[in-house]
Amino acid sequence: MGSHGPTAPPPGWRDRLRALANVPPLLSMVWETSRGLTLATLALRLAAAVLPVVQLWIAKLIIDQIVHPRAGRSVWVLLGLEIATVVLGDVLSRATGLIDSLLGDRFTNHVSLRLMEHATRLDLVSFEDPVFYDKLERARRQTTARLGMLGVIATMCQQIITLASLSAAVVVFSPWFLALLVATIVPAFLGETRFTMLAYSMLYRWTPERRELDYLRLLGASNQSAKEVKLLGLGPWLVDRSRALFDRFYRENRALAIRRALTGGALNLLPTAGYYTAYGVIIARTIAGALTLGDLTFLAGAFARSRALIESLFASLNNIAEQALYIKDLFDFFQVEPRIISPATAIPAPRPIRSGFEFRDVSFAYPGAQNVTLSGVSFRLERGQKVALVGENGAGKTTLVKLLARLYDPVSGCILLDGVDLREYSVDDLRSEIGVIFQDFMRYDLLARENIGLGRVEQLANDARIRAAARKSLADNVIEPLAHQYNQMLGRRFDNGVDLSTGQWQKIALARAYMRDAQLLILDEPTASLDARAEYEVFQRFADLTQDKMAVLISHRFSTVRMADRILVLEGGKILEQGSHAQLVAHGGRYAELFELQAAGYR
């Protein structure tokens, strides 16, 4: 699991400015989410932006009318207008809140779906990279965590309009007052910005540890891990390990929060001093008779609100700059592109396959790995042929079948299908002709019929095909005794779910493979936890049902492997020997040695 990494330098102004470039694409995503709701919130905020100036001006007129009554102007009419603006402000505020809430829900769903869609396009190797997982984790958090930024941007636009109207009145009286406000607020803004960058840097560095905490929480409260956690007494160890991570993060965060509070408190004295300096000048001018009492009220109110707005705008700008750094993580994820894609001139998979697959001097290494996993592998898988892969763990068997399904591409060499490089075919069309069940097959917390039907998702409503696949894998014997049979929820995640034994889940997974009805079927040790007889029966049935299909079998049990037409023995990423069971035993090589060792265990 992750360890506490070295201290990363906080992002500087250049980083923040570059991050701001992600704000327009984010706003574009909001526009894509709902144009109507976006226009509605903009219109409501525009109307609300001018209300503060109108209210201050009406208040000025009321006071001047009371002090120096003028004919043709009624205080009560002015009061009625002020009440109307207050009511209108409340209506606009509630309407804006409603629209923002609806837009926020739509936006969250929109981004979540885009994340899912993009993740499904990415290569398998991406999901095996911890750096990618850090990026994915941060991107997932942005789906809801950055939702507040949209409100900040909208409010900031509203405040700019309000400030512009208020500033016009303040500037008419004295341009220096507005300059004084800005000058005294800037130091506080810069100080807060510095601590925002430090906070982002800390959270960025802690991404691996936060993933570890999420994993530890899952281990401590998961039905998959509950048995071992209880039997092995792992609860206290998990809690202590989590507490240590929590405490380290808290100590670092506390130190930063204390520094932020002390520095911010000191710097915030400057705008207060600037405001009261200007306020004192306004009072002095009023006493001298240069301003009316209404002017005093208007200017004092405009000045006070301008100060609050400038502070709020700086804080909002700081907030946006901070959140833009996090949004960068979201768009960084969207910029990760798959390498295994269909070419522009992709051709469909052959139906039927005529000659089969051929590996030509294929080598493969995982990104960042020191050693190759496969080296110079060459063999043929002909139409209607069954090939078994044998070798110790780490020999490259699973990697080989992933290459066959084009989940990876070779580092060198090529894989041909009917004499054409796999990279020339449409990826989706090619995979539609391949059915794979891995040892770590999925157990979907879905209905039994859905667990099987996902093997050919476009046929999910084809009940006859689902039942036929279940019969082929003997999963019908598992499903029919269930209370709701094919409509029974499997797994314990949802209400009324029923969990199955490992062997029963394996039959469901095999049914999913049969549902696919592909031209090539691959079984990568999916029956490893079955006893020898049960596994033999499954593979024998598999052999009967794939009589005219190509098949690849991976198993450690030689009683199963021997039914294959040809056996490839892998060692150190290379094909050490190949042939039929009888040929390899007669050869007296590595296969014969492994066969004898296993056979001795049954004597």
Checking if the pLDDT of 456 tops 80, the result is: yes
> Which stretch of DSSP H or E encloses residue 37?
helix 35-49
Distance (Å, whole) CA 284 – CA 300 = 12
Checking if the pLDDT of 7 tops 50, the result is: no
Q: 391-423: per-residue pLDDT in tens?
A: 888 788 888 988 998 988 999 999 999 999 999
Look over the chain and give the mean of its residue pLDDT values, rounded to a whole number. Answer: 80
Confidence category of residue 2, pLDDT binned at 50, 70, 90:
very low
Cβ burial, residue 142 (10 Å; 0-12/13-18/19+): buried
Contacts of 159 (CB under 8 A, 6+ apart): 49, 309, 312, 313, 316
Checking if the pLDDT of 164 tops 80, the result is: no
What are the φ and ψ backbone dihedral angles of 582, each rounded to 5 degrees? Answer: -65, -40
Tokens of 135: 């990026």
% the chain with pLDDT above 70: 84
- Global pTM reads 0.66
If one compares 147 and 334, the residue with the highest pLDDT of the two is 334
Q: 420-449: per-residue pLDDT in tens?
A: 999 999 998 998 888 888 877 888 888 999
Residue 577: CA atoms inside 13 Å, Cβ hemisphere, count? 16
CATH domain 13-334 topology: ABC transporter transmembrane region fold (1.20.1560)
What are the φ and ψ backbone dihedral angles of 565, each rounded to 5 degrees? Answer: -70, -35
Checking if the pLDDT of 80 tops 70, the result is: yes
Confidence category of residue 72, pLDDT binned at 50, 70, 90:
low
Q: How many residues does the chain have?
A: 603
Domain regions of the chain by residue span:
13-334, 445-517
Which of 145-159, 179-193, 554-568 is modeled with the greatest confidence? Answer: 554-568
What is residue 297's predicted lDDT score, i.e. its pLDDT? 80
What is residue 559's predicted lDDT score, i.e. its pLDDT? 73
Question: What's the whole-number mean pLDDT along residues 346-354?
Answer: 90
What is residue 200's predicted lDDT score, i.e. its pLDDT? 67
Q: 285-323: per-residue pLDDT in tens?
A: 778 877 778 877 877 777 777 777 776 777 777 677 767
